[in-house]
Amino acid sequence: MTSFTQFKSQRDFLSPIRQWLDSQEVKNAKLAHFLCKSIPAQCPFERDIVVFGRKLFHIPPMCKLNPLYEQVVTLRFKALCYLADECGEDITAYC
């Protein structure tokens, strides 16, 4: 019997993109600022639907459905680290 994890690893078409994103290094302040501005710190789709002060339901974060979510968040983290460590900039505006 084939498990889901075996099927996923055999049919992972996004693996080259994941590896490319993981291998990227941030060495440019302009690129780092662009990445920090364009990749949100939190999922913008997560919401609580409130009517008349009562929470009706919660919309979970949809970003985790993105198959490249971990790599994109890691790239944003690398950009933040570059700005803080190499450039000595204050990154609180991006947090």
12, 19, 23, 67, 73 from 9: Cα distances, Å = 5, 14, 20, 13, 22
pTM of structure: 0.76
Given this model, what pLDDT does residue 10 score? Answer: 57
pLDDT tens track, the chain, 95 positions: 454 454 455 568 899 999 999 999 999 999 999 999 999 988 888 889 999 999 999 988 888 888 999 999 999 999 999 999 999 999 999 88
Given this model, what pLDDT does residue 8 score? Answer: 54
Closest by CA to 68, choosing from 6, 5, 11, 20, is: 20
Domain range list for the chain: 26-94
d(CA 73, CA 63): 10
